[in-house]
A = this chain, B = another copy of it.
Amino acid sequence: MKKFTVVVVGVGAVGVEMIRLLEKRNFPIKELRIFARRERDIVIDNKTYHVNSISPDGFESADIALFAGTEGEKGAAVQFAHEAIKRGCIVIDNGADFRLKPDVPLVIPEINPESLKNHKGLIANPNCSTIQMVVSIYPIYKEYGIERIIVATFQSASGAGRKAEVELLSQSKEILERLEEKNIKIGDKEFLENLFTKKELEAFSFQIAFNCFPCIGSFKEFDYTSEEWKMVKETQKILNDNSLKITATCVRIPVFRSHAEAIYIETKEKFDLERVKELLRNFPGVVLIDSLVDIPQPILCAQKEPVFVGRVRRDPFNEKGLWLWCVADNLWKGAALNAVQIAELLIKENLL
């Protein structure tokens, strides 16, 4: 079997999972190069990897580069993706910089593998909240059509990177310690207040421990956040359907890993609930939990590959209204796994 020189750029929350998944899935690797801003050694699952400082020459003779995805002008993708492509290396970028560019395929392998065929060296990985929603709704979209989607998300701290997970952990610890030290009891006023000043906050604008807030990313048109627009525009691009109406409220909650979404779908045609469940059960990448006892939830989905879908039920007041509750590891299917799956598909389809 042919083997490939693979580059991983970034060793934050997503980069580490990319390396872990390349190993776990026995990706045909000839040489693995890991780049970040700063040279160092890192340990993943008891194995030490050397991380080199990123430079254009590092992509020389490489086949595939997975960019873990710090976005924006100072991010690795904007600075180095074209250097990789220039050297014949195909880039799969997990960041948002290129996702909506017309000549960049935005790919979920289960949904639109065909769009890979026209790639020009750069392929974009969709946003975490988009991927798990599109995987969950797609079998229904295919069978009945979807008029619109109204979705509220429950997103974990890790979606904002490793430093955000650390902030959730350290804030939680500090709050519990302060309560103990001061002998503050549940229900006391001091128990309930914002315990951090703006200066003490780094990853988020608000306290994340024991709190939640509906602002992920920055505010854009119609007072939607960038995260909410991603769910709209990326879904329309992936499905190649700008008529699909999507509206979202994206909320950060104090969970370390895995996003959950309460998705309300209005189908175009009337649906049969048992058929909907059958479609979900048979769709690759989905695990249907058709149970009222076991319900998909973040702590059960971390470092698992599928998108878990549960609470599939109809709206008693709308024969075309359908609720789904989906949970997936935002760093796996929502990021690193989907990127690795794109790389696997490139190999399978001889598109390298």
How many Å from the CB of A92 to the closest CB on chain B? 21
Q: Which of A243-278 contact B (CB under 8 A)?
A: 245-247, 249, 251, 253-257, 260, 262, 264
Cβ of A318 within 8 Å of any chain B Cβ, yes or no, is: yes
Are B311 and A245 interface neighbours, CB within 8 A?
no
Are B262 and A300 interface neighbours, CB within 8 A?
no
Q: Which residues of B contact A311 (CB under 8 A)?
A: 214, 223, 249
**Chain A residues at the B interface, C-beta cutoff of 8 Å:** 13, 16-17, 148, 150, 152, 154, 162, 165-166, 168-169, 172-173, 176, 179, 186-187, 189, 191-194, 206-207, 210-215, 219, 221-224, 232, 245-247, 249, 251, 253-257, 260, 262, 264, 292, 295, 297-300, 302-303, 310-311, 313-318, 321, 323, 325
Selected from B224, B247, B251, B257, the residue in CB contact (under 8 A) with A321 is: B247
Chain A at the B interface: SS class = mixed
The residue of chain B having its C-beta at the shortest distance from the C-beta of A188 within the complex is: B45
Q: Which residues of B contact A192 (CB under 8 A)?
A: 256-257, 299, 302-303
Q: CA of A232 to CA of B315 in the docked complex: distance in angstroms?
A: 11
Are B316 and A247 interface neighbours, CB within 8 A?
yes
Are A255 and B212 interface neighbours, CB within 8 A?
yes
Are A255 and B176 interface neighbours, CB within 8 A?
no
